[in-house]
Structure 1
C-alpha cells in the first residue's frame, strides 16, 4: 500500500534570521499540545474523556500557522489541530471542560471535542461535515476585504476533505473574489483508513490550485521552521496583496483517525519511517545541537507544562456536571432578538408583491451599511426576477455580488460574514436549488447559536411555488424541510405589505431566516404599500376574514385560493388566518379562532405527508379537542413531483380540491 508522499529521512532546518527566543517559543508551543495529548490518551483509557482525535506528529503545522498569524486574524481548525487552541493561549481548564462536557467549555455540553468556536480567541471550530468551514472562511475573508482590515483567514482541512464539493466551491469563490484565505491542507496519508492513492489521482493536492487560477505551495509539515517562516511571509504578502493561497502540508498521522480506529491498516514500515520524522523530537535534537536548548531547560519546560495540565485538569474535574434545564436549552436555540417596530407611514403606493420585496430589500440596504446581497445574476442583471435591478448602481458591486453557481459555498460565506459582524441576504435563484446548499443551512446556520453562541445573521431568499408551469425543479414549495429544523426561522408572506415589512424584520433579526416568495404571486397580487421603511413582527398571524362557522388556516398562495373560494361562496362565514410566519408560529391565533368556530381546515400548497399542515392539525387536536365539532381537515397537493404542463399542474395543486373539502367539513 503506497501513498504519493515523498518522505525524506532527516529534517533539514534553516534557522534563517530567527533568534533563540523565537526558536524556543516554537519548541514550547509544540511541546504543550504533545504533552496534553499524552495525558488525554491516558484519560481516554480511564473513561474520563469520551473520544480523542490525535494530532501527534502534526504539531508543527498547527503551531507554525498560528504563530505566523496575528491574534485578531481568524483560524478555522480541525479536530487534529490542538496546537491552534493552545498557541492562542486558551486556558487549559476550558479545553478540558469542553472535552468533558462541562459548562466551562465552549458548547455547554452540547457538542464535543473541537466542534466549537470562540470569538475571544478568533477561532471557528469545525462541524462533522468537514467541508462547510472552507466557505465560511471565504465569508470571513470577504468581510476583511469589505472592511479594509488587511487580514488573513486560515482554514484547515485534511486531504480527504479535498474530495468534497465544498472544497472546490470555496476555492473557486475565493479565487474569483480574490479573498485572502489561506487554505491549509494537512495531507497526512489517510482519510480514516483510505490511503491517498484511493482518494485522488494527482501527484500533489497543490496542483489543484492551477485550475482555480490560484497560487499554491507545498511545505514539509513536520519542519516547524519551514512552516513558520513560509506561512509568516505568505501571510504578510496576502495582507498587502489580498488573494487566496492553497498550501499542502506533507505530514503523516501517527495514530488512528480516532483512538478506537487503530492503525492496523497502515504498513509498519511506513509508520517507522515517519516516526523518524517526528516534528517535536527532530526539532528538539536540532536545538540541542545548536546549543539553544539545554537539558535543564527541557526539563523545566516539561515540568511547567505538566504542572499546568494537572492544575487545570483538577479545575475541570472539580467542576459540577451540567444539570439539564429544558428552558435553558430551548432559549439558546435562537439568539434573543429585541424586535423594534417601525410603524407604517400613511403615504402609500400600489405595488406588486415583487416590487414590495425589491423596495424592502433596497431600504434595508440603506438601513444597514454592513448588509451584503449575494446570488446568481443579482448584480447588473438584477436577478432572474429583476428584484435587485438597479441595486449595483446605488450600492456598488462590493455589496451586490454576483456569485458562481455554488449554493453551498455562498450560504457558508454568509455564515462567515456573520462571524465577522456583517449581515447578508443570499438569493436562491429558485427555492428548489437550496438542495445544493442544504448542508450548511440545516447543519451550520441552524445550529451555530445553540452550539457556541454564534449567531448566523443570514437571510436566504426562496422564490418558490407552482402555478407558472415551471416543472419539477423550479416549482417546489419546500418550507417543511426547514420548519422541521430548530434554529431556523421561516417566513412566508402572501401580500405586498407583509412581504416588505417581514423582509425588513428578517434582515434585522440576527438569526437565520428562510424567506419564501411565491413566484405566481410576484406579479399577480397588488396592494397599497407604505412607501417608507417599516417592520412587521414575526409570529403574528393576520386574520383576513371573520366568521363563526369554520377556521381556515393557510399561507402563501393558499391564502388567495381561500379568498377566492370564500368570494365564490358568500354564505360561508369563516375566520381566514394567514400565518405569515411558520417559525415562529402564531398558535394562539389558531386556538382562539377554533375555540370560536369549532371547525378547522388547513390549506397548503405542498404535498400532504410531512407538511406543516400535519403538525398544525396535531397541535389543534392536542390543545382544542374539546372545542371541535368535526375532525380537523387538511388539504394539500397530490403526492407527486410537480409536473410541467398546465393541465397536470392544475390537477396536482390543492387549489382545485379546497372548495369541495371546505363544504364537506361544514356538512359534517
Structure 2
C-alpha cells in the first residue's frame, strides 16, 4: 500500500505561486479525460468500440506532466494516458475516429486505441511490446542534444514495464549519454493482475535511479498540484542542465487492465483506500473549500465538455466505415522515396570489400550531415573489423558513438533519431547479436510507417556468415528472420563495388534497411571500385554470367562459390544471377532467366528450410512451371547451428554439395 496517505494541496502549494486560474485549468484538464472515459465505457458496453484501457484515477499524472511540457517537446504515452492527448488539444473527433478505426483517426484503421503517434501534436504512441518506446525517447532526446535544442522528452511506462530489459537499457543509455529524458513510471499497483510485490523487490522503483547514477523522485500521482509543481521545476532544470531524471508516480488503477479483465483480484480494502484518493474528487473539494471554483462553474465545465464530446462523437459516428484498396495498403508499408541514382565516375581503385564498406560509410557521413553511427566499439577502436577506424577524428564522437552492450535500446534510439528527422546506421558487432535487438526491428521499425506514417530512417549493418571458424554465435547468416517481415528492406552484396553503392543507397533511403556484410568476403575479395560517392538501385539483380543450360540464383558468399565452380567448369553454359537485394527482390530477372534455361538452382548459405530459396522456388513453380525442364533445385547448408572446427564447418556449408547438385540437375 502506498506510503502517501493524504492529498495535502495546501502543503503542495506552499512553495509554488500557482494562480487560481492555473488551478482551475488543471482541474478542467483532468475532468475532460474523465468524462470522455465515462462515455467510452458506455460505448464499450454497447459494442461501439472494441476495447478500452482505463486511466480513471490516474488523470493527474498525464495532465500534470503534459501541462509543463512545451508544445514542441515530445511525449511518449501509454494505455492510460488519455490526458496526454486531450491536454495536447487533439480534436476529439479524431480520437473517436481512431478508436472506431475510421479514416479521420491517425492510423487509417490499421491500429487501435492509443497505438499511434502524431508529429503534429508531438506525441509518439506506444506499441504493445512496451519497452522499446523508452529507447525511442532516448533517440529523440539525443537528437535534441546534438541539435543543441534546450528541450526535454517525457516517456511513460507502468511498474510492470520496468521489469523489461528495454527499461534498463534505456535508463543506462540515457545516463551514459546525459540525455534529457523524463522517465515517468506510473506505479499503479498491478501489471494486469500481478501485484507489485511479484514484480520487483526494491521498496520504491525510484530507487533504481541510483543504480544508473540518475536523479530520481517519488511523487504522489493523485495530487495534481504536486505533480504539476514538481515536474515543472524538474523540467526547467533539465532544459538548463540536460540529464535524465526518473520519476515514480504513486497511484492506482481503479479499473481492470482493460475492461474485460475486471478487478476481482484486488482486495476490497485496497480499492477503498485508493477510491478515497481520487484525484478529481479531492481536488474539486479543495477548490470549493477555498472558493477557487464555484459549483456553478463546475457545472458549466461539465456542460461544456459534454457538449464537445457529443458534438465530436456525432461527427465520428457519421463518418463512413473505412475502406481501402490493396495498392493503398501496400503503398504505405514503406515511405515513398524517389530514388535518384548517383552515377559512379571513371576514376577507380582496387580495394577490398571491407574497405569499400568503410569508404561508402565515410562518404555517406559527408553526404548527410545528420547521419549518426552507433555501435559497440565503433568510435576510437574503429569497430571489431576496423570499418570505422579514423571516423572519430574525421566526424567527431557526437556522430560516431560507442554504445553500451544493449542492441534493443540502441535500435530503439535510432528510431527516435528518425522521428526527429535524423539518419542513423547501427552496427551489430556480429549479425548474430541482432537477436538481442530483434523486437524493435520487426515490431517498431518495420511497422511504423504503415501504422502512422512515420518512417524509420535506419540502416542496421550485419557482419555475418561462416567460413572463418567463428562457431555458432558469430557465423549465422540470418536474413530469413527479416525477409518475412513487411516494412524491412534487406540488402546482401557480394562484391566491393556493389557493397559501397548499395550501402550509400540504403543510407539515402528513408526506410529501415538490414544490410548484410559477409565477414569471409571482407578481406578476401578485391575489385576496382569508383572513388566518388555513388549509389546503386535497391531491388536490381546483377547477371554475372550468360548461359543457356542452367540458371544459378544466389547472393553473398554463394556468388563466389558459383563463380569459382563455373570458372573451373567452362563447359557449363550457365546464367549466374547475383540477387544483391533480397527485399525488394528482382523477381522479373529471376523469371526471365528461368524461362530461358528451363533449369534452376537456388543457392544460399543459410540452412535450406524456410529460407529465401524456398520462397523463390515457390514463385518459380507458380509462375514459370511450363518453362521448366527439370525439378527446381534449392541448396542450403546443413540443418544445424554453424560448427566451429574447420572440417565440420566445411561439411556444414552448402558449397560442399554444389558440384553434385549442379551435375544432378544438368543430367536430369
Taking structure 2 as the reference length, what is the TM-score of the superposition?
0.99
The equivalences for 1:336-415 within 5 A come to 336-415=336-415
Query: What is the deviation of 1:580?
Result: 0.2
Q: Distance in 2 between matches of 1:450 and 1:125?
A: 14
Q: Is the 8 A contact 1:219 1:226 kept in 2?
A: yes
Q: Is the 8 A contact 1:137 1:154 kept in 2?
A: yes
Query: What is the deviation of 1:289?
Result: 1.1
Query: What is the deviation of 1:114?
Result: 0.1
For the pair 1:6 / 2:6, whether they are aligned, the reply is: no
Aligned to 2:282: 282
Deviations 1:198-232 (A, max 9, x none): 11001000000001000000000000011001111
Deviations 1:501-532 (A, max 9, x none): 00011000010000000000000000000000
Query: What is the deviation of 1:10?
Result: 4.2
Q: Is the 8 A contact 1:287 1:293 kept in 2?
A: yes
Q: Distance in 2 between matches of 1:72 and 1:290?
A: 35
For the pair 1:654 / 2:642, whether they are aligned, the reply is: no
Aligned to 1:607: 607
Q: Distance in 2 between matches of 1:135 and 1:331?
A: 28
Q: Is the 8 A contact 2:181 2:244 kept in 1?
A: yes
Q: Distance in 1 between matches of 2:594 and 2:550?
A: 8
Aligned to 1:86: 86
Aligned to 1:112: 112
Secondary structure of the residue that 2:260 maps to in structure 1?
coil
Deviations 1:265-310 (A, max 9, x none): 0011111111110000111111111111011110111000000000
Aligned to 2:501: 501
Q: Is the 8 A contact 1:11 1:282 kept in 2?
A: no
Query: What is the deviation of 1:324?
Result: 3.6
Secondary structure of the residue that 1:260 maps to in structure 2?
helix
Query: What is the deviation of 1:11?
Result: 3.5
Deviations 1:550-574 (A, max 9, x none): 1100000000000011011110000
Q: Distance in 1 between matches of 2:132 and 2:109?
A: 22
Q: Distance in 2 between matches of 1:50 and 1:395?
A: 51
Q: Is the 8 A contact 2:7 2:222 kept in 1?
A: no
The equivalences for 1:527-566 within 5 A come to 527-566=527-566
Query: Bigger CA drift: 362-371 or 14-23?
Result: 14-23
Number of aligned residue pairs: 665
Query: What is the deviation of 1:416?
Result: 0.2
Q: Is the 8 A contact 2:9 2:286 kept in 1?
A: no
Aligned to 1:577: 577
For the pair 1:74 / 2:74, whether they are aligned, the reply is: yes
Taking structure 1 as the reference length, what is the TM-score of the superposition?
0.99
Deviations 1:22-63 (A, max 9, x none): 111101100000000000000000000000000000000000
Query: What is the deviation of 1:130?
Result: 0.5
Aligned to 1:258: 258
Q: Over the residues paired in the alignment, what is the CA RMSD in angstroms?
A: 0.6
Query: What is the deviation of 1:12?
Result: 3.5
Structure 2 unmatched runs, 5+ = none
Structure 1 unmatched runs, 5+ = none
Q: Distance in 1 between matches of 2:334 and 2:58?
A: 37
Q: Is the 8 A contact 1:159 1:186 kept in 2?
A: yes
Q: Distance in 1 between matches of 2:137 and 2:469?
A: 39
The equivalences for 1:64-463 within 5 A come to 64-463=64-463
Q: Distance in 2 between matches of 1:315 and 1:126?
A: 26
Secondary structure of the residue that 1:93 maps to in structure 2?
helix
Query: What is the deviation of 1:328?
Result: 0.7
Aligned to 1:623: 623
Q: Distance in 2 between matches of 1:424 and 1:20?
A: 47
The equivalences for 1:631-650 within 5 A come to 631-650=631-650
Query: What is the deviation of 1:7?
Result: 3.9
Secondary structure of the residue that 1:218 maps to in structure 2?
strand
